[in-house]
Structure 1
Amino acid sequence: MPRFAHLPDQRALIDRRVLGDALAEIGGGSESASDRRNAAVALLKKALADANAELARRLAEHPSRGLEIAAGHAFVTDQLIRLIHDFTLAHLYPGGNRSAGERLAIIAVGGYGRGEMAPYSDVDIAFVTPGKRTPWAEQVIETILYALWDLGLKVGQSSRSIDETVRLARDDLTIRTALLEARFVWGDREVYDAAAERFVADVLSLAPRQFVADKLAERDARHKRMGDSRYVVEPNVKEGKGGLRDLHTLFWIGKYVYRVRTVGDLVEAGLLTRRELAQFQRAENWLWAVRCHLHAITGRAEDRLTFDLQREVATRMHYADRTGQSPVERFMQFYFLNAKTVGDLTGVFLAHLDEAKGEKGRRFLPTIRRRPGKLNGFALDRGRLALPDEGFFRADPVRLIEIFALADTYGLEIHPLAMRAARRDAKLIDRTVRDDARANALFLDVLTSPRDPASVLRWMNEATVFGRFVPDFGRVVAQMQFDMYHHFTVDEHTIRAIGLLARIEAGDLGDDHPLSHALFGRIAHRRVLYVAVLLHDIAKGRGGDHSELGGEIALELCPRFGLTDSETELVAWLVRHHLLMSRFAFKRDLADPKTIQDFVGEVKSIERLRLLLMLTVVDIRAVGPGVWNDWKRQLLRSLFDAAEEVLRLGHIQHGREARLAHKIADLRAALDWPAEQFDAFVAGAPAPYLIAEPIEILAHNARHLAAMGDAPLSIDTVTDKDRGATLVMVAAGDHPGLFYRIAMGIHLVGGNIIDARIHTLDSGIAIDNFLVQDQRGKAFTGKQKLARMKRAIRQSLAGEAPLASQLADKPLALTRAEAFRIVPSVTADNRASNRYTVVEVNARDRPALLGSLGEALFEAKVTLHSAHISTYGERAVDTFYLTDLTGQKIVSKTRLETLERHLLDAARGPKDTGDKEDRRAA
């Protein structure tokens, strides 16, 4: 069957006969060869533009027909190459009686050879000659290449003899793989046939086992580069785990080992069933559609599905709203389900390959340790749990849970064919199975395993058994949240959090989480904690408060799992309040007694406090790389210690004094100063300052102030590797506007403030601590960059130039946050503190946001006592503790409304209406 026989209405794309006649007329003209060539290129350029326009129209009309569009681009490229070749030989380099060596075949390789190209894919071709290239062949090849380049195509090409082609294919895995998909395009067919025969005889005869091992190692390395998860929220459609390249790898292996010609031949080879072939083709078609849309939207070879593109692709592919899910979230859920299908197919494909090609007692793929022959009725096939017969799950559906419990208990892998059977039979899990006490006990054993629960739960999820057994969990499988904060889908985030909890308990992360590890030995409700981690995000995507809805789900599920009434109530409380500790730690002033009082009023018991801390830690850390840092660890530890002391002693002031004494003792040890010098520093430092700051920052501040002497202003910086940021310390006489001018100076040189603390010593000297990163989210470093920052802060404090105009003259690069629309909000609260008005601002994160908000506070004539900066991806949440200029709370309704208006204007920024032409800081 011809390669493009399935492509409809081919002549509407490009009519080679009509174009050939027009080229013949151009070639027969009397103009110079150069003029005729230029005229031919112009004709073909218009033909290519028309073909691309027609393919774009077809993609818009049928946005999910990915393979058809990919084939269309390859078909058009074929016709262009044939026309250019024929025109070149007929009119530019005609040969009378060419020798046997003056022959040439043009071969498509790689994806083009497979007959699949996105709109801006490379055109990968090979020019093959029977022997050493002749001057005629070199002229023809050069002319064809220049014509393709003039058409605007990106060409990857090689020019080799048959012997060179075979030799290089034997030595180079990449070349060998590209030639696996080689296809004759045009030229001398005999040369192509000779090259193809040599390739089969001399290259495909090489050790297939090594080829498979090499391709799988190459795949694993690629996955690692791309994040090593199918569930990263900005996936690469081509190279990522579960993407097109994984499907291509299966085909390459099948082609190399079994000589299959098409994907359909994998069924005949026994590597896929017909059902699995249909899944393969559906996933491939859908992923190709997404890739074609990406190229069409960006006008380039873009394969990464970034946030800004996800929304556009979802719209193009006609995804609509559903309750609790936006169109882009539904689109991305479908993406992850397809990526999961690719992973499932990979497992069964390799299992079939291993069974067919493995020698007796020896696996075709890398071996694992051997095991006994049977276990609880399950078979053991070369160290993997397998099924004794196809009806094993149907005879007792509880075995669908038991196989994973056994895998956990005995540290076994599950045979891919058993996984396939589990996927097939997962529908057997009905209400009867879900209510079965044995099934629930087995599930709870896996969930609370001291070994590696995350891996086994992930297998259970991939087999769809997890979602069938816990339908509420099934609703969040492959569900993403369209934001920059969460790096994984909800189900993957949850499983990662459970895995982290097990590692902390085992002591594997003792250095990172010493407090959480120590607490495991003191808690009375270990399994409550694991169940709470499982359920904390289970109600996402339903609309409404997922914490409250999750608490209701916990009340229903926990009794089924076998938990007691008191355990059930505790799980429900943890799920309802799983954001409580991070909210207090990151958005409230921990030096304010009212913060601790309010938090303890919610928690009420030490057991709850311990469980909540560990739930909070794994929830944050499982969000993704770079989210957890030492700063957050310190804030959570400070809140825990303060709350624990109150719960133990029953009096906040007593606990506060104990914390202060402990902090001073630690600081004394860290500084190792003479007693007189140290006592003088502590005497002039307010207690809230000493309590709020970590020991290392207090030590940095103390040394900075000691070196400052009588100078009116001092600026110092310290790189903090743990936090991935630079600590910028500014000491100066306190005065109105100090904070916002420092912030503006930092913004002027491209610094991004991720946290800020403001303190005034008894001497009247203000010490302001800023944690600063560069625009890439790294520590702000470099001698010259830091010198520029210090100079900018000095100029800003001296008022040497209007800050707003300087920032307006410095256009700031577009950020990924531009893809999100966030409506700014301002909330003032006079109950959160006994001494201060607490104002929280929610806005889209952008350069200079904090400086703009600080300037608004200055203009509103209020005194800023502390600022607490939290960033959740594209969303910034900045909390300010304020008084009026007399040191009193702001209670006037009119004054509060004016303050909120100032802050809202600053949060929006100029022209914050989605107009990307003006993205400047306030």
Structure 2
Amino acid sequence: MGAEIDLAEEEAATIFSAPRIRSRLAQGGYAVDAFRETLRWGRDRLYGLFTDGMPADSLVHARAHLVDEVLRAAWHKFLPGVSEGLALVAVGGYGRGELLPHSDIDILLLHSGDTLEQQRKALEGLTAFCWDIGLEVGQSARTVEECVAEAAKDITVMTNLLEARLLTGDIALFQRMQQALTPDKIWPVKAFFEAKKAEQTARHRKYDDTGYKLEPNVKESPGGLRDIHTIAWVMKRHFGAQTLAELRERGFLTKQECDELFAGQDFLWRVRFALHMINGRREDRLLFDSQVKVAQLFGYVDTDANKAVEQFMQLYYRTIKTLSCLNDMLLQLFEEAILRPDSGEPEPLNPRFQIRNGYIEARDDEVFRRQPWALLEIFLLLQQHPRIEGIRAQTLRMILRDGKYMTDEVRASVKARALFMEMFREGRGLTRNLRRMNRYGVLGRYLPAFGRIVGLMQYDLFHTLTVDEHILYVVRNARRFAMQRFRHELPFCSEVMQRLPKPELLYLAAFWHDMAKGRKGDHSQIGAEEAEQFCLQHGLSHTDAALVGWLVQNHLLMSLTAQKQDISDARVVAEFARKVGTRTRLDYLFLLTCADIRGTNPALWNSWREALLKDLYRQSVRVLEDGIDQQTLEQERAAETRQRALELLEARGVARDTAERVWQRFERDYFLRHTPEELAWQLPAIATATDDTLPLVMVESVDERGTTVFVYTRDRDHLFGLTTGVLARLGLNILDARLHTTDDGFVLDSYTVMESDNAPIVSPMRYAEIRDALRKVLSDPEVSTIDVNRRMPQRLKHFDTPTQVYFSQDQARGRTVLELVTADQPGLLSLIGRVFQKRGILLDAAKIATIGERAEDVFYITDRMHRPITDERVLDELREVLVRTLDRRETA
């Protein structure tokens, strides 16, 4: 590969040679058009070379060469003969000689003081000229003394100047600046190293310490190009080295590691180059639309197993994993060389490992070759001894080198299996340990099923992490339930956690729940079989293994039941409880469900979902432990809700007979669908409402479910469509709709809402805005439709989710169930409500679930006579209209 790069460098140097560029400019008389044309020619030539497969390393250097010559020519055009007291200096990435098509071109006008003022007019002309020809130059003008003062205050300035490169002008002045910035005068090596390491830590934290998000930043995310820059900066400051290749010469990297570093850097440069080329501007984020285009540009094609974009992104994630590993190792090697040149006395741990300067290390170079199961033991020791800060760099290098000795024979050994299982039983430090094992490749080698999902992503907006990273986040969430210091996050989950007889079974289920993603077939079923077999092989009893397998197979059961079914219906709860079977299984499943949702998408977990799951959990406990039947469960729940609401009302001075008088108009479903807090909040307003004050609209965060919008008014056509249209126009997300119509023609509709970013609504002014907007529309009998004039979010435009409609019958409650899967869009519910209204369909309730770019909603509907819709012809027509309306964005 090195020979290929050398040839490419030679080819690029020939194409973008100084004589050739000067000749082009001279032929155009150094006019503005000549400069513009030269830059345009250079850009097009670079794009062509990129498409032809030239290594990105050569392309970024060629772009820098081109800009060098253009700037030099422009300098001599405006400042001919100026060679003293003024210098044009490239800094930052441009100073390194690395420029992508639209990268920042950072320059420093280094001056001696008086010269700047003398040449101010010429320099202003130069700056304007650069912009005129299309070079977006970022510049600063400083004396040597000012450079030193600014660098002393700001490590970023120091870093930019560290990479300074003279383009033209006063050589002596430039050298004086370099001499003034040496480590013996400013930013000693130790201080510089600590500052850059802290800077990297802060940068990683900004990205939640993971580069495995759906839309990563190729430059700044962990494992990105900035991590390579950090290595280069420290190396340059400490050793005076000019290139990364010197890492190998100085013994910091082996040939293989050096090849991996350069290959990773070239890949990321190539990705960034493609992003700049596709977007026609600087862009370092791999956004959804760009991912598809870059994958196509790189030659990936869809297969039955994975889309082209998923294949490309898996390579991206695996590349940054390798680079993160090298970054860890090199920074620690630097730390040992810079901060702790004295190796210190070792503290033995066992015959294979010892602690030195707070880090664990192998006691000899052959440990992992002689006893490969020690590749697991070292991580268990890190768990058992939390005072150990990490793995020493040389030992980490051995882990990377000797991972290949983790063979099938080793995996099947009693020793290896016992060590791995002990990590889960130990609990403490499990998540951090598994992340280390994944980062250093040990986890995928020990468990090939895990190795297959490393870097695997799903091209949707629902799953915000790669599969392997998501799994480790779910394990993390499960662990936090057991830790006292995180009890405040989800107290109820922490309480349930205390009842688990074997917490490690929850961790194992979390670890296995998505392990079979990316394979043909049901990942829950495949994963369950493999998880149960894994547990048996690792010494668990048949009972424990069966529980882990059951949890993996049913890890979606509780979330789907709570979010897509009407859990005010006792039959739904009873059926769920029947599938679960025991209180112990319920405890494990509840915790796994909460951990999974929180680890899937940060925006997905909210107070409403938590309340739904807790409600389903508590109802199921009564069914499982008390053995009550469906009818009794509904009667008792309704009676308890009613009684608790009466107590709340009496405490607020509302007479009991007032409540009973109002409530006699309402059926039992009303008490099953609302909490006591909601009933007590609604009743005083309903009791005093008159025709003159209708529609009654109330907005408040009444209980743990979030903000409730309550509408009480006489029934009218398209009420659901109007209400949801107004809420959508206000930029609100509707999480739930509970609709109730009395026999005397009044509606009591409740909507659970949040802001568009899923943030809770807390401002009284926002409450008033929602209330006033709804009253204005609902009180006007002339308004029959609402246009939701909100633009489709950019991210939603990149996904194609064809509309699917399914029907079933809820015979016990005399209604039809319509399940809808379609692409999310602003005003979707209002559009659906319009379809229902035009076809004489009444809506009894709705379960709203937006899964990333997909809306997966359930509607409970009847005809105008409040009867279920059973005519297949009518249902087929409704399906056809919904598909046509939603897929074509047409009005029904």
TM-score (norm 1): 0.90
Matched, 1:882 2:861: yes
* 1:441 aligned residue (418, 425, 430): 418
Matched, 1:125 2:107: yes
SS across alignment from 1:622: helix
SS across alignment from 2:453: coil
SS across alignment from 2:46: helix
Q: Which moved more, 1:897-906 or 1:466-475?
A: 897-906
Q: Which amino acid is 1:408 matched to? A: Q
Q: Note the C-alpha offset of 1:552.
A: 2.4
Instruction: Give per-residue Cα distances to partners, 1:497-517, cap 9 Å, x unaligned.
Output: 112112112344434433332
The number of residue pairs the alignment matches comes to 882
SS across alignment from 1:753: strand
Q: For the Cα contact (< 8 Å) 2:611–2:704, is it kept in 1? A: no
Q: For the Cα contact (< 8 Å) 2:21–2:66, is it kept in 1? A: no
Q: For the Cα contact (< 8 Å) 2:24–2:38, is it kept in 1? A: no
* 2:585 aligned residue (608, 616, 630): 608
* 1:86 aligned residue (76, 91, 94): 76
Q: For the Cα contact (< 8 Å) 2:12–2:59, is it kept in 1? A: no
Q: Distance in 2 between matches of 1:778 and 1:521?
A: 30
Residue 44 of structure 2: aligned partner: 53
Q: Which amino acid is 1:177 matched to? A: T
Residue 34 of structure 2: aligned partner: 43
Q: Note the C-alpha offset of 1:335.
A: 1.3
Q: Distance in 2 between matches of 1:625 and 1:517?
A: 19
Q: Which amino acid is 1:466 matched to? A: L
Matched, 1:154 2:132: no
* 2:348 aligned residue (351, 363, 373): 373
Residue 337 of structure 1: aligned partner: 318
Q: Which amino acid is 2:409 matched to? A: T
Q: Distance in 2 between matches of 1:677 and 1:510?
A: 42
Residue 414 of structure 1: aligned partner: 390
Matched, 1:868 2:843: no
* 1:391 aligned residue (366, 386, 390): 366
Matched, 1:72 2:50: no
Q: Distance in 1 between matches of 2:490 and 2:24?
A: 74
CA gap of 1:172–1:832, structure 2 versus 1, over 3 A, is farther
Matched, 1:821 2:821: no
Residue 457 of structure 1: aligned partner: 434
SS across alignment from 1:475: helix
Q: Note the C-alpha offset of 1:459.
A: 1.0
Q: Distance in 1 between matches of 2:755 and 2:466?
A: 28
Q: Which amino acid is 1:586 matched to? A: Q
Residue 823 of structure 2: aligned partner: 844
The residue correspondences of 1:782-861 to structure 2 (distance < 5 A) are 789-798=770-779, 806-807=787-788, 810=789, 812-830=791-809, 834-861=813-840
Residue 749 of structure 2: aligned partner: 768
Where structure 2 has 5 or more consecutive residues not aligned to the other structure, the ranges are none
Residue 648 of structure 1: aligned partner: 625
SS across alignment from 1:662: helix
Q: Distance in 2 between matches of 1:670 and 1:909?
A: 49
Residue 745 of structure 1: aligned partner: 726
Q: Distance in 1 between matches of 2:659 and 2:541?
A: 54
Q: Which amino acid is 1:352 matched to? A: L
Q: Note the C-alpha offset of 1:136.
A: 4.0
Where structure 1 has 5 or more consecutive residues not aligned to the other structure, the ranges are 28-38, 364-369, 912-920
Q: Which amino acid is 1:58 matched to? A: L
Instruction: Give per-residue Cα distances to partners, 1:558-585, cap 9 Å, x unaligned.
Output: 2112222232222222211111111110
Residue 494 of structure 1: aligned partner: 471
SS across alignment from 2:108: strand
Q: Distance in 2 between matches of 1:772 and 1:513?
A: 21
Q: Distance in 2 between matches of 1:859 and 1:481?
A: 38
Q: For the Cα contact (< 8 Å) 2:218–2:225, is it kept in 1? A: yes
Q: Note the C-alpha offset of 1:607.
A: 2.3
Q: Note the C-alpha offset of 1:617.
A: 0.9
CA gap of 1:626–1:389, structure 2 versus 1, over 3 A, is same
Q: For the Cα contact (< 8 Å) 1:821–1:844, is it kept in 2? A: yes
Q: Which amino acid is 2:736 matched to? A: D
* 1:555 aligned residue (514, 528, 532): 532
Q: Which amino acid is 1:76 matched to? A: L
* 1:314 aligned residue (275, 290, 295): 295
Q: Which amino acid is 1:386 matched to? A: E
Residue 408 of structure 2: aligned partner: 431
Residue 220 of structure 2: aligned partner: 239
Q: For the Cα contact (< 8 Å) 2:755–2:761, is it kept in 1? A: yes
The residue correspondences of 1:242-641 to structure 2 (distance < 5 A) are 242-359=223-340, 372-411=347-386, 412-417=388-393, 418-641=395-618
Instruction: Give per-residue Cα distances to partners, 1:862-890, cap 9 Å, x unaligned.
Output: 22110110111111111011122222222
The alignment-based identity, stated in percent, is 32
Residue 638 of structure 2: aligned partner: 660
Q: For the Cα contact (< 8 Å) 2:28–2:34, is it kept in 1? A: no
Q: Distance in 1 between matches of 2:302 and 2:797?
A: 22
Q: Which amino acid is 2:120 matched to? A: E
Q: For the Cα contact (< 8 Å) 2:786–2:830, is it kept in 1? A: no
* 2:167 aligned residue (174, 185, 188): 185
CA gap of 1:399–1:666, structure 2 versus 1, over 3 A, is farther
Instruction: Give per-residue Cα distances to partners, 1:411-430, cap 9 Å, x unaligned.
Output: 13332422332222121111
TM-score (norm 2): 0.93
Instruction: Give per-residue Cα distances to partners, 1:714-756, cap 9 Å, x unaligned.
Output: 1122258977x64322111123422112112223344332332
Q: Distance in 1 between matches of 2:820 and 2:358?
A: 57
Q: For the Cα contact (< 8 Å) 1:384–1:413, is it kept in 2? A: yes
Q: Note the C-alpha offset of 1:759.
A: 2.2
Q: For the Cα contact (< 8 Å) 1:107–1:186, is it kept in 2? A: yes
Q: Which amino acid is 2:356 matched to? A: D
SS across alignment from 1:571: helix
Q: For the Cα contact (< 8 Å) 2:458–2:466, is it kept in 1? A: yes
Instruction: Give per-residue Cα distances to partners, 1:100-126, cap 9 Å, x unaligned.
Output: 8x4422111100011112211111011
Q: For the Cα contact (< 8 Å) 2:845–2:860, is it kept in 1? A: yes
Q: Distance in 2 between matches of 1:704 and 1:333?
A: 56
Matched, 1:176 2:178: no
SS across alignment from 1:616: helix
Q: Distance in 2 between matches of 1:240 and 1:638?
A: 39
SS across alignment from 2:822: strand
Q: Note the C-alpha offset of 1:47.
A: 0.9
Q: Which moved more, 1:450-459 or 1:135-144?
A: 135-144
Q: Which amino acid is 1:577 matched to? A: N
CA gap of 1:269–1:664, structure 2 versus 1, over 3 A, is farther
SS across alignment from 1:480: coil
* 1:110 aligned residue (92, 103, 114): 92
Q: Note the C-alpha offset of 1:352.
A: 1.2
Q: Note the C-alpha offset of 1:789.
A: 4.2
CA gap of 1:123–1:531, structure 2 versus 1, over 3 A, is same
SS across alignment from 2:88: strand
Residue 366 of structure 1: aligned partner: none
Q: Note the C-alpha offset of 1:16.
A: 4.5
Q: For the Cα contact (< 8 Å) 1:420–1:463, is it kept in 2? A: no
The residue correspondences of 1:678-757 to structure 2 (distance < 5 A) are 678-706=659-687, 708-710=689-691, 711-718=693-700, 726-757=707-738
CA gap of 1:414–1:218, structure 2 versus 1, over 3 A, is closer
Q: For the Cα contact (< 8 Å) 1:857–1:903, is it kept in 2? A: no
Q: Note the C-alpha offset of 1:54.
A: 1.2
Q: Note the C-alpha offset of 1:75.
A: 1.5
SS across alignment from 1:304: coil
Q: For the Cα contact (< 8 Å) 2:351–2:363, is it kept in 1? A: no
CA gap of 1:494–1:868, structure 2 versus 1, over 3 A, is same
SS across alignment from 1:890: coil
SS across alignment from 2:866: coil
Q: For the Cα contact (< 8 Å) 2:313–2:457, is it kept in 1? A: yes
